[in-house]
Amino acid sequence: MSATPLVSQVELHNPVKSELIPPLLGASLADLTTWVQQQGQPAYRGKQLHEWIYDKGVRSLADISVFSKQWRKEVAEVPIGRSTLHYRSEAPDGTVKFLLRLADDQIIETVGIPTFAEAGDGPKSRLTVCVSTQVGCPMACDFCATGKGGFKRNLARHEIVDQVLTVQEDFQQRVSNVVFMGLGEPLLNTENVLAALKCLNQDVGIGQRSLTVSTVGIRDRIRQFAQNNLQITLAVSLHAPNQALREKLIPSARAYPLEDLLTECREYVEITGRRVTFEYVLLAGVNDLPEHALELSKCLRGFQSHVNLIPYNPIQEVDYKRPNRDRIQAFVNVLKQQNTAVSVRYSRGLEADAACGQLRASKN
């Protein structure tokens, strides 16, 4: 008996091998149950298949020992949809960078970030995965390594979910948080990102409030995203308090004025009831002056939001510098004086080129 395709796969940008059978990874329990029944198997096989894919991390149907040998032979060509490990690098702080090879030989990057319990109170208390949503990135932000390598294609649902399972297996620990802050612009791959979010929540078992999607801001996409009324965290990469400076740092800002972006963000808050996090990379002498902080606070006045300051992480292609701690603290002080919620995030994995803005799907 030949394998019947599970569901029609989301069409990819510039697909490479459209004739491939759609992978099973990313499918729900209901979808898997329907599929096994289409193969002439009893419905309970769907639950078994779901457990082997999401709990046991199986990479081939041939390895599912509860299935008969005969049926495993019949569906041997049906892919689970797992990637292969191309490279692994661990930083002194425990952060691990993974380069993963996809079915079409494209390479993507994902990062596992452990958070250790205080004062030796036990094992790691949290494990965060930074996932990619595209091969490369078309946004070309001037201070970010990812955009320097160009854009290849969107990732499919299973290629996003696979990154979380890969980190889970490597750390031998359940993933508690997922941030869509790796390679690519998530809102240029909205359909697959939404499907992956649903899978991570319902099938992998990660709470919606432990999922964060980061975007530079694509016109109308934040508004569309809000219509799904998810309880995830939306993080908007702002990086400048005015349009002129933002255009210098983010080329796409020329077509999307800051005020329009902020309007969409306010609508997001109104629709979802969730505050927006604004990511702001601090670049010495560029956007880190007290007057920039004051201007930023005015932009966000009356806004249900939080500013996440990220001291710049260096890359080879540009000569931006990280501000010193006094300059960073001065910026924080101005925001606090203006009653703007703020925190500083010192990125993990710096020594392994796995920190924010350093991802480039290469070993260097």
Residues noted as catalytic = 109, 356
Q: Is 178 left (phi over 0), alpha (psi -120 to 50) or beta?
A: beta
Residue among 293, 285, 270 at smallest CA distance from 322? 285
The SS3 of residue 119 is helix
**Pair of tokens at residue 96:** 């691990």
The SS3 of residue 43 is coil
- Which is it for strands 124-130 and 177-180: parallel, antiparallel or unpaired? parallel
Return the half-sphere exposure (C-beta side, CA atoms, 13 A cut-off) of residue 304.
14
Residue among 138, 270, 157, 276 at smallest CA distance from 214? 276
DSSP alpha helices (H): ranges in the chain? 29-38, 44-54, 69-74, 157-171, 190-199, 221-226, 243-249, 258-272, 290-299, 325-337
Rounded distance, CA 360 to CA 76, Å?
34
Q: 14: burial class by Cβ within 10 Å (0-12, 13-18, 19+)?
A: exposed
Rounded distance, CA 294 to CA 47, Å?
55
> Rounded to 5 degrees, what are φ and ψ at 286?
-110, -55
Residue among 247, 224, 237, 198 at smallest CA distance from 357? 237
Torsion 236-239-242-248 (CA) sign? negative
Rounded distance, CA 54 to CA 132, Å?
19
Query: Contact 131/179 with Cβ under 8 angstroms?
Result: yes
